[in-house]
Amino acid sequence: MNSFYHSTRSNSDSVTSKQAILRGIAPDGGLYVADWLGEKKLNLARVCGQGFQQTAELVLGALLPDFTADEISACVAAAYGEQWDTPACCPVTKLGDDWLLELYHGPTSAFKDVALQMLPQLMGVASKDGEAGGKNIMIVTATSGDTGKAALDGFAGVDGCGVTVFYPEGKVSDIQYLQMATQAGANVAVSAVRGNFDDCQTTVKQIFADRELAGRLAEKGCVLSSANSINVGRLAPQVTYYFDSYAQLVRTGAIELGDVVTYCVPTGNFGDVLAGYYAKLLGLPVGKLIVASNSNDVLTDFLTTGTYNRLRPFNKTISPSMDILVSSNLERMLYYFCDGDCELVASLMADLAEKGSYTVPPAVLERIRSVFACGRADDDDTRAQISGTWDKLGVLIDPHTAVAKKVLDETAADGSARVVLSTASPYKFSADVLAALDEDTDGMNGFACMDALAAKTSTVAPAQLSGLRDAAVLHTDVNDREGMGAFVEAACARVFQ
Ligand SMILES: *Cc1c(COP(=O)(O)O)cnc(C)c1O
C-alpha cells in the first residue's frame, strides 16, 4: 500500500508524512493529502476498550505510517501528559439530551492544544531524519487568537525550533492578548499586525512563498514551516477525539458499538470538522457532520449554494476564532469530493485567488451535502444560547460552543446521539459570556470579568488563565503587513544565532 502524501493541486511529488509535516504547505501552494486514507479502518471495538492516549497512538499510527510505533508512543506521552487538567484529556459530558465534547482541558484552555501539543513532538522526531536533518525550523503562524498561544506553548523550548506568531491588532480578547504577550521562552517571537486575521494569514502564505527569503534563511541553516491547521501534523491529532468521544459514549451506555453519531462543530478554517471526516473515512460511524458558522457564514453559503465567495464584509464577532473568510482546510475536502482531481482543485483555487470566488460542479455539491450539514448563528443568537444553556441546563459554554449549540438545536433530530464540540473554556471569553448572562461589564477588564463569572456561576476559572494577571508583558511589537517578512527574518537571526 502506498503511504505517501502529495499536494491537493498535483500528484507528481510524493512525500512521506514526516516530510509533509516539516513542509506544512506543498511547494505549489496546495495542502498535503493521502489517497490511501480509509483503505484500512481502525478497530472500533479496540478503541472502545482503551483510553485517549492509546487511541491517539492508533490514529496517528494509521495516518502517519512512516513514524515507528516507538516514535509515536513517545510523542503521545509528551503531548498528552500532566499538562492536561484531566487524565481523560477530552471528556464527554451531558448537555441536556445531547453531549458536550470538552476540548479545552489543555494548557491554553482551547481545543487547539490537542493538535499543538502534538505537532512540535512530531516535528522534533521528523527533523532528525530525512531532508531537514540538522536544520533549524522556524514556525510562522497567523492566529485569530487561540492558535497563537497554543503554538507558543507547544513550541516554546523545543530544541531546534523557533516560533513566530502574528495576530490581528485589537481583534483578539484581552485574555488571548495577554496569553501571547506574556509568553516566555528564548525561541519565541510575537507581533500584532495592523489588519484582520485574513490579512495575517495571506501575508504568512506570501512569506512561505518568498523564494529569496527562503534562500537567505537556508544559508543560515534555517527553514520556515507552518503550524497552521493546514499542517498534516495538526489535522491528524484532531481525529483522535472523534474516536475517543465515541468510545466514551459506548462505555457510558449512551450508544451501542456501531451506532451512528452526529457531530456539530463550530468551525472557521474547516480543520476541526475535516478531522471528523477523516475519522469517518477511518471507519467511525459518523452520521452528519454539522458545520456551524457565526455571521462570517461563508461556509454555510458554500454548503448551501456550491459557490464559495470570499468577497463579502468581514464581521468582528464574539466568536473571534471563527472570524474567517478563507477556510484553508476546505481545499482538502474539495480534493476528496472531487475524486482526487488535482486539476479541478487547482483551477477552483485559482478562481478563488483571481476572482475571489469559485463554484463546484452540482454533482460534487450533492456529495458534499450528503455528509456535511450546516447552519449559522449571529451574535444575538450566540448570547441567547449562552444564557439559555446556563439557565436551562446548568452548563456554562463559550461563544464558539454556543454557535454550534444554536445550529444543533435547529437541526431536526434523527434519533442519533448528538455531540457538540466545545472548543474553548468559557473563561477565555469571560466578558462576552458574562454579558450574555445579563451582567453589566462596563469598564471591567478580563480579570474582573473572570472573577464576576466565577462568583455568578460558582464555577472556577482555569489556573492558567487566572494566573495571567501576575505575568509580565514581554512582547509589544506591532507591524504592518509589509513588515512581517522582515520580522520573521530578524526572529530567525535572534533565535538561531
Ligand atoms: C480555532 C477555533 C475554532 C475553529 O476551528 P477550525 O479548525 O479553524 O475550524 C473554533 N473555536 C475555537 C475556540 C477555536 O480556537
Residue located nearest, by CA, to atom 5 of ligand 1: 267
Same-domain status, 145 and 292: no
Same-domain status, 438 and 486: no
Are 14 and 6 within 8 A, CB to CB? yes
Residue range 136-157, pLDDT digits in tens: 999 999 988 778 999 999 999 8
Return the pLDDT at 158.
83
Return the pLDDT at 1.
56
Segment 287-293 mean pLDDT: 98
Cβ 424 under 6 angstroms from ligand 1: yes
Same-domain status, 119 and 96: no
Pure H helices in 105-231: 112-116, 119-126, 146-155, 174-181, 197-209, 211-219
Ligand 1 atom nearest to CA at 266: 10
Cβ 428 under 6 angstroms from ligand 1: no
Return the pLDDT at 225.
86
Same-domain status, 452 and 481: no
Whichever domain contains 220, its CATH number is: 3.40.50.1100
Number of domains in the chain: 2
Helix (H, G, I), strand (E, B) or coil at 193: strand
Determine the Cα–Cα distance for residues 260 and 280; give it in Å rounded to an integer: 10
Same-domain status, 21 and 131: yes
Q: Average pLDDT over the chain, rounded to whole?
A: 94
First-residue to last-residue Cα distance in the chain: 43
- The whole model's pTM is what? 0.93
487 within a domain of the structure (yes/no): yes
Same-domain status, 82 and 97: no
Cβ 229 under 6 angstroms from ligand 1: yes
Same-domain status, 290 and 416: yes
Same-domain status, 136 and 178: yes
296 within a domain of the structure (yes/no): yes
Same-domain status, 325 and 361: yes
Q: 112, 171, 405, 428: which one is catalytic?
A: 112
250 within a domain of the structure (yes/no): no
Cβ 112 under 6 angstroms from ligand 1: yes
pLDDT band at 131 (very low <50, low <70, confident <90, very high): low
490 within a domain of the structure (yes/no): yes
Which grid cell is 490?
530578524
Q: Does pLDDT of 227 surpass 90? A: no
Are 376 and 291 within 8 A, CB to CB? no
Q: Does pLDDT of 17 surpass 70? A: yes
Residue range 69-126, pLDDT digits in tens: 999 999 999 999 999 999 999 999 999 999 999 999 999 999 999 999 999 999 989 8
329 within a domain of the structure (yes/no): yes
Q: Does pLDDT of 133 surpass 90? A: no
CA 258 from centroid of its chain's CA atoms: 27
Q: Domain range holding 401? A: 92-105+257-269+283-464
Higher confidence at residue 340 or residue 146? 340
Mean pLDDT lowest for which of 98-102, 129-133, 396-400, 443-447? 129-133
Match 485569530 to its residue by C-alpha cell: 144
Higher confidence at residue 336 or residue 143? 336
Q: Does pLDDT of 223 surpass 60? A: yes
Return the pLDDT at 130.
60
240 within a domain of the structure (yes/no): no
Most ligand 1 atoms within 8 A of CB, residue of 90, 104, 111, 238 to mutate: 111
Same-domain status, 34 and 137: yes
243 within a domain of the structure (yes/no): no
Same-domain status, 73 and 187: yes
215 within a domain of the structure (yes/no): yes
Cβ 106 under 6 angstroms from ligand 1: no
Cβ 268 under 6 angstroms from ligand 1: yes
Clarify whether 112 is annotated catalytic.
yes
Same-domain status, 304 and 421: yes
Segment 213-228 mean pLDDT: 90
Residue located nearest, by CA, to atom 15 of ligand 1: 146
Residue range 441-475, pLDDT digits in tens: 999 988 999 999 999 999 999 999 999 999 999 99
Beta strands in 360-437 (DSSP E): 372-376, 417-422
Determine the Cα–Cα distance for residues 482 and 486; give it in Å rounded to an integer: 8
Segment 291-308 mean pLDDT: 98
Residue located nearest, by CA, to atom 1 of ligand 1: 321
